[in-house]
Amino acid sequence: MVTSDEDAKKAYADFEKKVKRTIYIDHLSPQVTSSVIKAALAQCANVVDVEFIVNYTVPYDIPSAALVELDDEIQAKAALDLMNDFPFIIGGMPRPVRAICAKPEMFRERPHPGIRKEFRWVKQEDGTEYQGMKKLRILAKRQEVENMALIKNQLEEEKELAKQQQELLDGNYNKYDMLENVVQNGNMKSLAQHYGVSLADEF
């Protein structure tokens, strides 16, 4: 007969295997969906599941992150190599995404074999324990303010980077448009004759 302890151990063993075949990706556009991620990684891996990690406490559309489960560890390594060896952009973000191996702490739901959790309110009459929780609360508020400042700075950097990239794209488009016009209106042949350059028949 299988005991509850054995069930817990098996569940955790299965969870550990899942962690090894999962990668963590951030710098994702808020508009990115599971289908977009699956299509982006299709060249090297088959996506089994996507779990987005969204920060609902921030009043901005900031880059989000996701835990992406693949078929096996080999595909996970291939996906990591692809995203770390080359600039890999998903969903039009101005910066390439970042990817690392997933860790157990990243999962919202995970088994805890042999660990029993208890929750309770801490009251003022609890003395030292209450004072400790109060200090942690103050620290959390301070970190929240610092986090908001960092996020605002990140958004400003992303906006400036996106502007620079758009200017570069517009410049390249105008260059190729000018070349196309030169070919279409016949000026290419005139320039070739002037400089004594032989052109292919298609010009």
Among 32, 25, 66, which residue's Cα sits nearest to residue 49? 66
Q: How far apart are CA 19 and CA 21, in angstroms?
A: 6
Instruction: With beta carbons less than 8 A apart as the criterion, state whether 2 and 55 touch.
Output: no
Token representation of residue 111: 């088994």
Of 16-25, 43-52, 105-114, the poorest mean pLDDT is in: 105-114
Confidence grade of residue 119 (pLDDT, cut at 50, 70, 90)? confident
196 falls within a domain: no
Q: What is the sign, positive or negative, of the torsion defined by CA atoms of 40, 43, 45, 46?
A: positive
Residue 81's pLDDT band (cuts 50, 70, 90): very high
Do 40 and 136 have their domain in common?
Answer: no
The verdict on 95 and 50 lying in the same domain is yes
Looking at the structure, do residues 167 and 102 belong to the same domain, yes or no?
no
- Quote the tokens at residue 28: 């994702």
pLDDT value, residue 203: 46
Q: Does 96 score more than 90 pLDDT?
A: no
Q: Are residues 79 and 13 in the same domain?
A: yes
At residue 114, the pLDDT reads 64
**Are 167 and 83 in a shared domain?**
no
Residues 92 and 21 in one domain: yes
Number of domains in the chain: 2
CB 50 within 8 A of CB 34: yes
Q: Domain containing 87: what range?
A: 2-106
Distance in angstroms (rounded) separating the CA atoms of residues 112 and 62 = 31
